[in-house]
Amino acid sequence: MSDTEKNIDKISGVATTGHEWDGIRELDNPMPRWWVWTFYATIIWSIGYTVAYPAWPLISSATSGLLGYSSRQELAATLDRVAADQADLRAAVGEKPLEEILADETLRRFAASAGAAAFNVNCSQCHGSGAEGSAGYPNLNDDDWLWGGDIEAIYQTIAHGVRFTGDAETRFSEMPPFGDLLSAQETQQIAAYVASLTGDPSDDASATAGASLFADNCAACHGEDGTGDQTFGAPNLADAIWFYGATEADIATQIRKPRHGVMPGWQARLGKTTVKQLSVYVHSLGGAE
């Protein structure tokens, strides 16, 4: 009597695997034919697949596959295709004047989103990812502009920068350090006057005294009423937005020894089209004129 005969299940007449667990034995039914064929087909497929596509690891690389596929190439091809799809829009942005781009809904949207991408790469380091700025770096969302907030002025600023030595057309102005010319008391009086333009000064008497000092020393650039002048980047001192702090001490510090920010000109690096896109994006932030 052989083992095989012992392992036949009496009820079903099918052979069992011969193992037994607590009296339970497993029937050894053959596989359905379609299942076996499918299994073989997947094996054949996998062999073909590993030949056609990158698969087998080698010591420092892997087999490249007969089809020459690579995910990097696929990405490059996708990017090329996107660039080709956008070529017309990009060309239009490059050619048309900025006012026309703003008037054209499609172009404006395209330029603003392309500009947003360029902004995140090139500008967000100083101006912040939401263009919200920080001490010394202007907030581009508000309606207070040092050098002008219309689209042409914004373009000019981005293209050539501010106090940027690498560009002859850069915007330039410098406030002299009044610490050398005025006494500490005079400086304090001017600061009190400036503070009084938008709020209550610490001392009304110094503010009154500061008014004439301001007219003599500051009004030439900042204007009689302190509203500034965008042609040479003189900030508006009669509004709620302060670049280097709003307290009288902050103002006095700035009068004694002014700090000046520098922004590089971007046209040479990014090209005219991208700078135009950046301008449209900044213009779209809500404070532009």
Partner 1 sequence: MLNQTEIERLEAEAVNSAKVRQPLYAPRKKIFPKRAVGRFRSFKWLVMIITLGIYYLTPWIRWDRGPYAPDQAVLVDLANRRFYLFFIEIWPQEFFYVAGLLVMAGIGLFLITSTVGRAWCGYTCPQTVWVDLFLVVERAIEGDRNARIKLDTAPWSLDKVLKRVLKHSIWLVIGVATGGAWIFYFADAPTLFVDLFTGQAAPVAYMTVAVLTATTYVFGGMMREQVCTYMCPWPRIQAAMLDENSLTVTYNDWRGEPRSRHAKKALAAGATVGDCVDCNACVAVCPMGIDIRDGQQLECITCALCIDACDAVMDKLGRERGLISYATLSDYNANMALATAGGTQAIDPARVRRDGGRLSDKVTEFHWQKIFRPRTFVYFAAFSLAGLVMLYSLLTRDRLEVNVLHDRNPQFVMLSDGAIRNGYTVKLLNMVPEPRIITLSLEGLPGATMHAVGVDLPEGRSLDVALDPDRLKELRIFVRQPADYVEEQDNRFTFVVEDKASSENAAYRAKFMTPEDGRR
Measured distance CA(64)–CA(218) in Å, rounded: 71
Residue closer to partner 1 by CB (options 102, 162) is 102
- Of positions 32, 57, 60, 180, contacts partner 1 by CB under 8 A: 32
- Of positions 19, 27, 31, 271, contacts partner 1 by CB under 8 A: 31
Measured distance CA(13)–CA(29) in Å, rounded: 10
Residue 13 sits in the site that holds partner 1 (CB under 8 A): no
Give the shortest CB-55-to-partner 1 separation in angstroms. Answer: 26
And the tokens for 276? 């135009």
Residue closer to partner 1 by CB (options 201, 265) is 201
Maximum pairwise Cα distance, the chain: 125
Strands 24-27, 16-21: pairing kind = antiparallel
Please report, as a single letter, which amino acid is at residue 17. T
Q: What is the SS3 string spanning 236-268?
A: CCCCCCCCCCCCHHHHHHHHHCCCCCCECCCHH
Measured distance CA(120)–CA(117) in Å, rounded: 5
Residue closer to partner 1 by CB (options 70, 120) is 120
- Whether 15 contacts 5, CB under 8 Å: no
Please give the residues from 170 up to 199 whose contact with partner 1 meets the rule CB under 8 A. 198
- Whether 262 contacts 161, CB under 8 Å: yes
Give the shortest CB-46-to-partner 1 separation in angstroms. Answer: 20
Residue 35 sits in the site that holds partner 1 (CB under 8 A): yes
Build a one-symbol-per-residue string for 105-144: x at contacts with partner 1 by CB under 8 A, - elsewhere: x--x-------------------xxxxx------x-xxxx
Residue 289 sits in the site that holds partner 1 (CB under 8 A): no
- The residue count for binding partner 1 (CB under 8 A) is 34
Residue closer to partner 1 by CB (options 176, 286) is 286
- The torsion angles phi and psi of 235, rounded to 5 degrees, stand at -65, 150
Residue 1 sits in the site that holds partner 1 (CB under 8 A): yes
Q: Residues interacting with partner 1, by CB under 8 A?
A: 1-2, 4-5, 15, 28-36, 105, 108, 128-132, 139, 141-144, 198, 236, 239-241, 284, 286-287
